[in-house]
Amino acid sequence: MRVLVTGAAGRLGSELVKYFGSEHSIIGTFRTTQRDLPISCGTAVKVDLVDESAVLDMIAETRPDLVVHCAAASSVDRCQLDSEFARLNNVVTTQNLCQAISHVGRGRFFYISTDYVFDGATKAPEETEPLQPMNTYGESKRDAELATRKAGIEFAILRVCALYTAGAHPKGDPITAIAETIKRREVYKAATDLFSNPTEVSDVARAIAALAKLPELPESLHIAAPEYMTRHEFAIKVAERLNLDRNLIEAVTCADLNLPAPRPLKAGLGSARFEALMGYSLKSFDSVPGISR
């Protein structure tokens, strides 16, 4: 199978390259940052996914059996401050990929979405909950989901949430932010009223690679660890796991953080449908190996 992964230099994209690459031919796209792919996995392709003709040319040339669309504008606050940035990088890129797949007439499409398409009124919502985003980022991801559904192609919308990385932590990873702040002997502020399911990114990648082997999937599927906690509880767990000073973690409310974008307080995802389909749950934080500084 030929698998095209957009955003192959990102946290989830790079992990997907590893898992798919062990069995399949990989095309990994990037726009500004190239990460060399293992030679046995395939090649990296520089492409601006906002460019409709460039996307069509790429899909027509590579003719993938599966496209996993990880590339996104994922900074919630930047999206809130620049709605056009969110629209172009979340909605237009998705539309371009779907149109190209439809034009070529082959290939499945996995769209990677988020818990922020929900309003946080219901704890860990299941797939049947109505889409009611409360910030610009969530709105753009919802609109991309709707574009996917309307494209007339074979698709699955895979929602993930609160990703973190075990082992070497890339820039922007929550474990990196917590550890580096505490190691500088600075206070790390963490909300006690903002909930989610912290989920290890390689566990998600492994699940997506396994889902790709199934001939049919539900139109939407949540992939998240079962453990539900506040950002403050997660920060404490990280500090304890890394033997860092938990006293430097300050309990605050989400409102205290004065963030540009509102957040759904009861964020996260319920993954009962995934667990029934696959017969297992993703790992809780305490059971993830390799957590290190």
Q: What is the pLDDT of residue 117?
A: 98
Give the burial class of 245: count Cβ atoms within 10 A of its Cβ; 0-12 exposed, 13-18 middle, 19 or more buried: exposed
Going by pLDDT thresholds of 50, 70 and 90, the confidence category of residue 39 is low
Which residues contact residue 19 at a Cβ distance below 8 angstroms, ignoring those fewer than 6 apart?
202, 205, 206, 208, 209
pTM beyond cutoff 0.85: yes
Q: What is the pLDDT of residue 102?
A: 97
> What's the whole-number mean pLDDT along residues 248-255?
97
**CATH code for 169-197+227-268?**
3.90.25.10
Closest Cα to residue 230, out of 131, 145, 124? Answer: 124
Q: Cα–Cα distance between 182 and 187 in angstroms, integer?
A: 7
62-89 in b/e form (b: 16+ CB < 10 A) is: bebebbbbbbbbbbbebbbeeeeebbbb
> What's the whole-number mean pLDDT along residues 62-84?
97
Going by pLDDT thresholds of 50, 70 and 90, the confidence category of residue 266 is very high
Report percent pLDDT > 70 for the chain: 95
Compute the mean pLDDT over every residue in the chain, rounded to the nearest whole number. 93
- Cα end-to-end distance, the chain, whole Å: 36
Q: Is the pLDDT of residue 60 over 80?
A: yes
> What's the whole-number mean pLDDT along residues 259-275?
97
Q: What is the pLDDT of residue 31?
A: 82
At 169-210, the pLDDT tens digits run 567 799 999 999 999 999 999 999 999 999 999 999 999 999
Q: Is the pLDDT of residue 116 over 60?
A: yes
> What's the whole-number mean pLDDT along residues 83-93?
98
Cβ 99 vs Cβ 148: under 8 Å = no
Q: Is the pLDDT of residue 18 over 60?
A: yes
The continuous run of DSSP H or E covering 164 comes out as strand 163-164
Ramachandran region, residue 195 (left: φ > 0; alpha: ψ -120 to 50; beta: rest): beta
> What's the whole-number mean pLDDT along residues 254-275?
96
Q: What is the pLDDT of residue 42?
A: 75
Give the distance, in angstroms, between the CA of residue 88 and the centroid of all CA atoms in the same chain.
Answer: 18
**Equal fold, 2-163+199-222 vs 169-197+227-268:** no
Q: What Å distances lie between residue 139 and 115, 148, 154, 284, CA to CA?
A: 11, 14, 23, 29
Q: What is the pLDDT of residue 172?
A: 78
Going by pLDDT thresholds of 50, 70 and 90, the confidence category of residue 43 is confident
**CATH code for 2-163+199-222?**
3.40.50.720
2-41 in b/e form (b: 16+ CB < 10 A) is: bbbbbbbbbbbbbbbbbbbbeebbbbbbbbeeeeebeeeb
188-198 in b/e form (b: 16+ CB < 10 A) is: bbbbebbbbbb
Q: What is the pLDDT of residue 3?
A: 96
Going by pLDDT thresholds of 50, 70 and 90, the confidence category of residue 293 is low
Q: Is the pLDDT of residue 40 over 60?
A: no
Q: What is the pLDDT of residue 79?
A: 98
Q: Cα–Cα distance between 248 and 228 in angstroms, integer?
A: 23
Q: What is the pLDDT of residue 34?
A: 62
Q: What is the pLDDT of residue 170?
A: 65
Q: Cα–Cα distance between 113 and 69 in angstroms, integer?
A: 9
In the chain, where the domains are located: 2-163+199-222, 169-197+227-268
Q: Is the pLDDT of residue 45 over 60?
A: yes
Between residues 18 and 251, the one the model is more confident about:
251
> What's the whole-number mean pLDDT along residues 234-262?
96
Q: Cα–Cα distance between 232 and 239 in angstroms, integer?
A: 11
Structure tokens at 104: 């070529």
Q: What is the pLDDT of residue 36?
A: 58
Q: What is the CA radius of gyration of the chain?
A: 19
